[in-house]
Structure 1
Amino acid sequence: MPTEIPPPRNWFDQGGSAYARFRPEYPPQLAAYLASVAPERRLAVDVGCGNGQLTQLLAPHFERVIGLDPSADQIANAIPGARIEYQCAPAEQLPLADGSASLVTAAQAAHWFDLPAFYGEVRRIARPGAVLALVSYGVLRLEPLLDARFQTFYWDEIGPYWPPERRLVDSGYATIDFPFSEFEYPALEIRVEWNLSEFLGYLTTWSAVRSAREVGREDLLLAFANDCAAAWGDPDRRRPVSWPINMRIGRVEPAGARPAAQARP
């Protein structure tokens, strides 16, 4: 009897729990920095908080942290913690009192907002000297052996399947209107060490990968996965993966005040 050759592994079949397992987490240094530039530590508001990744990092630094998201499902599954409150609310209608917040953050979310309406709400709830930070993380980086292949995949192969808003994230929101007095921030990054299955599992959380599969471009994904597997070597070997953290960060003028001149980082 001839030996049956098993089909090649589909690295992109990771199951429905992939998002929670593989999304990168912000480092504690980010929350510590944001707290250090806030005028006081009474209240931080994390808008578009999702499952509360940044919200829970802010909690040790503030008396209260409120996480807001328009998705009831996200709020129902948000990370609980002392001094944290979650509410279901859109960025354009913040359920907070005037002049109440010392820090307002939006992590990997601002590209979905109606920004003029959101900025109006930020000015309304801001305390004197309050800080607004639009946080995002850029395109991941790998070791040189793997990074060149990944960059081709990201920009040229899977790139057309990203929604248009993704370009705003990739640029660190550099092109959006930000009518606040900006200041410089320290270099920060997310760092993990992943094996091959974890790295490719992270890619399954991308909307672009789901879109490519829906239109029958499984071949594109499998070709990339096979190239990665060949370059990775032992699939259980843990290799460094990093993402640069980008921000548009500035002081918020009170509602009705004229914005100060901007100084880009």
Structure 2
Amino acid sequence: MAVYYDQQAEAYLNTRPTYPSDWYSKLASLTPNRTLAWDAGTGNGQAAIGVAEHYEKVIATDVSEGQIKHAIPHPKVRYVHTPLSMSEDELVSLIGGEGSVDLVTVAVAVHWFDLPSFYSLVNRVLRKPEGIIAVWGYKNFTVDPVFDSVMKHFIETASPFYNPNIRYINDSYRTLPFPFESVGIGSEGNALIFDLTQELSFDEALKELSSWSVVSIAKEQGVDLLFEGIVKELKSAWGDQSNLIKTVNRKAFMIAGKPRI
């Protein structure tokens, strides 16, 4: 998936929602030590900089070099491009070594990972027994019945091009393997559900849609999902004014846990 996020890195940076500060406060409260955190699949770094408010240092990694180049700078965050060719031992060393990490976060990315390999790596780098891993995601945004109806049609048109792993998002991580002991924030098969809201104009909403990996995947196969007709339908349903600000709503979900000793 790295190539698709390379192509859409700038749009991703400018349109994706930020996460509430109390998410990070809650996670930090669960780790007695706050020396080192690792944000895996960091994308534009929005989760990394939130984590950095509570930890001395954050290593933020991504297989997409384009995302790393567009990531948000922060004095306590070190961004590192980690191509898929890197070995587990190389990654352990890069992140900080065995048992060095207090918190691992993955924001809207874990469903793309090779989960057995990733979880093996997490178990090696987390401090034991108090290190924590937290993963979260969110569903497509909703606005109102008129706009949502057009969005539903757009998503149905896009569905043949989705990666099968999108099923984890669609079921709110209920079927996502998560072999860690619960710490009171969801558990395997039962993620904690949150409401996530954001103020967007139509132009901003359209930029977010253009940043979806499925749009790039379809385009490579000769299909323009955001063709002129569907954009006009979406804009009309929004209210025909590109600068009209609306509240968009998302259902977010999180699971956190610690290594099973």
State the TM-score, normalizing by the size of structure 1.
Answer: 0.79
Report matched runs for 1:38-187 at 5 Å: 38-89=31-82, 92=88, 93-94=91-92, 95=94, 96-127=96-127, 128-154=129-155, 156-182=156-182, 183-184=184-185, 187=193
Counterpart of 1:41 in 2: which secondary structure?
coil
| Larger displacement relative to structure 2 (219-228 or 169-178) | 219-228
| AA in 1 matched with 2:123 | R
How many Å apart are 1:220 and its aligned residue?
Answer: 6.9
Rate the CA distance shift 1:82–1:213 in 2: closer, same or farther, 3 A.
closer
How many Å apart are 1:234 and its aligned residue?
Answer: 4.1
For structure 1, which runs of at least 5 residues remain unmatched after alignment?
1-14, 258-265
Indicate if the aligned counterparts of 2:42 and 2:48 stay in contact, CA closer than 8 A: yes
How many Å apart are 1:203 and its aligned residue?
Answer: 0.8
Write out per-residue CA displacement over residues 221-250 of structure 1, whole angstroms, 9 at most, x where no aligned residue.
Answer: 433322222222241221111222212221
Report matched runs for 1:184-223 at 5 Å: 184=185, 187-218=193-224, 221-223=227-229
Match of 1:243 among 238, 250, 261: 250
Indicate if the aligned counterparts of 1:30 and 1:188 stay in contact, CA closer than 8 A: no
How many Å apart are 1:39 and its aligned residue?
Answer: 3.3
| Larger displacement relative to structure 2 (137-146 or 82-91) | 82-91
Match of 1:10 in 2: none
Indicate if the aligned counterparts of 2:13 and 2:70 stay in contact, CA closer than 8 A: no
| AA in 1 matched with 2:138 | Y
| Larger displacement relative to structure 2 (101-110 or 21-30) | 21-30
Indicate if the aligned counterparts of 2:63 and 2:81 stay in contact, CA closer than 8 A: yes
| Larger displacement relative to structure 2 (82-91 or 113-122) | 82-91
Counterpart of 2:141 in 1: which secondary structure?
coil
Rate the CA distance shift 1:90–1:227 in 2: closer, same or farther, 3 A.
same
Indicate if the aligned counterparts of 2:28 and 2:34 stay in contact, CA closer than 8 A: yes
Q: How far apart, CA to CA, are the structure 2 residues paired with 1:170 and 1:219?
A: 20
Match of 1:31 in 2: 24
Q: How far apart, CA to CA, are the structure 2 residues paired with 1:16 and 1:129?
A: 34
Counterpart of 1:124 in 2: which secondary structure?
helix
Indicate if the aligned counterparts of 1:18 and 1:204 stay in contact, CA closer than 8 A: yes
| AA in 2 matched with 1:114 | D
Q: How far apart, CA to CA, are the structure 1 residues paired with 2:9 and 2:111?
A: 25
- Once superposed, which parts of structure 1, at least 4 consecutive aligned residues long, lie more than 6 Å away? none
Counterpart of 1:145 in 2: which secondary structure?
helix
Match of 1:5 in 2: none
Match of 1:12 in 2: none
State the TM-score, normalizing by the size of structure 2.
Answer: 0.80
Match of 1:231 among 219, 231, 237: 237
How many Å apart are 1:166 and its aligned residue?
Answer: 2.0
Write out per-residue CA displacement over residues 72-104 of structure 1, whole angstroms, 9 at most, x where no aligned residue.
Answer: 443333222122222333684332222111111
Aligned length: 239
Write out per-residue CA displacement over residues 160-206 of structure 1, whole angstroms, 9 at most, x where no aligned residue.
Answer: 12122222233233222211112335643432222222212211111
Structure having the larger proportion of residues in helix: 2
Q: How far apart, CA to CA, are the structure 2 residues paired with 1:53 and 1:145?
A: 31
| Larger displacement relative to structure 2 (171-180 or 69-78) | 69-78
How many Å apart are 1:16 and its aligned residue?
Answer: 8.6
Rate the CA distance shift 1:223–1:125 in 2: closer, same or farther, 3 A.
same
Indicate if the aligned counterparts of 2:46 and 2:72 stay in contact, CA closer than 8 A: yes
| AA in 2 matched with 1:97 | G
